[in-house]
Amino acid sequence: MKVKDALQQRKSVRAYLDKPVADEKIHAILDAARHSPSGVNTQPWQVAVVRGDTKQALQQKIEAEFRSGNKGKADYPYYPKEWAEPFTSRRRECGLLMYKTLEIRREDKQRQLDQWAANYRAFDAPVMLLFFMDGRMQTGSFLDYGMFLQSIMLEAVEQGLATCPQASIVDYPEIIKETLGYPKDSICVAGMALGYEDKEALVNSYRTPREEVESFTRFFS
């Protein structure tokens, strides 16, 4: 598969088949991603592959906390405190595309809540990946991690699998670290759903738009 094809085929999938992912495929994905670059070869990534009873227990704890009204607090701020254009409009369009596809109305708060809660179950994918790094690492390691996560998603496409990178799932780092036995001072960077796409699911039928090269690029000679 060409890199360009994998880039274009990759999308955030929010509904999965009830089909297990073989250990060999998970290992192959991580074996490819370990070649991702990192500043002075620090390789800051630490990966938890969460499945089965452990996944059920973890996601139940997180979803219960969410439904209790506790919004949680991630180990670092992912989004800005105050939104500005063009990011406000892009964010709004992203949410509206999903709700329109699922026919969830603005006033239907319960369906909105239920759809958001699916984040904390990794959209019921058979595999939840959780990513950690040493708490002493700094901003550059987040850049390294971005390349590592992209490598995982592209290799997943090669393996015939689907993914959804997730920031929301690490809103409850204390629960995650306690359940999985990671140090309290580690950084819970992100999560990711991994599995086989349910191609019949309505939620997987839309794609978010991307800006053209000319809108974000300046050439200098």
pLDDT tens for each residue of 49-81: 999 999 999 999 999 999 999 989 999 999 999
Q: How many domains does the chain have?
A: 1
Domain contains 96: no
**Helix %, strand %, coil % for the chain, to 5?**
50, 15, 40
Token pair, residue 195, equals 């599995």
Asked whether residue 47 is domain-assigned, the answer is yes
**192, 131 contact by CB (below 8 A):** yes
Is the whole-model pTM more than 0.85?
A: yes
179 found inside a domain? yes
Peptide bond into 86 cis (omega under 30): yes
Asked, for residue 148, whether it belongs to a domain, the answer is yes
Average pLDDT over residues 77-88: 96
Q: How many residues does the chain have?
A: 221
- CATH number, domain with residue 158: 3.40.109.10
Going by pLDDT thresholds of 50, 70 and 90, the confidence category of residue 25 is very high
Distance CA 28, CA 133 (A): 21
The alpha carbon dihedral of 32, 37, 41, 45 has a sign of negative
Q: Residue 107 has what pLDDT?
A: 86
Residue located via tokens 């950084």: 187
151-192 per-position pLDDT tens digit:
999 999 999 999 999 999 999 999 999 999 999 999 999 999
**How many other CB atoms sit within 10 Å of the CB of residue 162?**
27
Q: Give the contacts of 121 (CB within 8 A, at least 6 positions apart).
A: 59, 63
Query: How much is the average pLDDT of 194-203?
Result: 97
Six-digit token string for 67? 């439904």
Structural domain boundaries, residue 155: 3-78+120-201
In a domain, 94, yes or no: no
With 90 as the cut, is the pLDDT of residue 123 above it? yes
Contact 160, 94 (CB under 8 A): no
Q: Is residue 188 part of a domain?
A: yes
The answer to whether the CB of 49 falls within 8 A of the CB of 158 is no
Distance between CA atoms of 209 and 221, rounded to whole angstroms?
30
Q: Does the pLDDT value for residue 106 go beyond 90?
A: no
Q: What integer is the mean pLDDT of 126-141? A: 98
* Distance of alpha carbon 125 from alpha carbon 12, whole angstroms: 12
Res. 134: pLDDT tops 90: yes
Please give the pLDDT value at position 167: 95
Spatial contact of 188 and 130, defined as CB atoms under 8 Å apart: yes
Question: What are the C-alpha distances in Å from 88 to residues 85, 92, 93, 94?
Answer: 5, 6, 9, 10
Task: Give domain status of residue 40, yes or no.
Answer: yes
Residue 92 has pLDDT above 90, yes or no: yes
Q: Coil, helix or strand for 14?
A: coil
128 in any annotated domain: yes
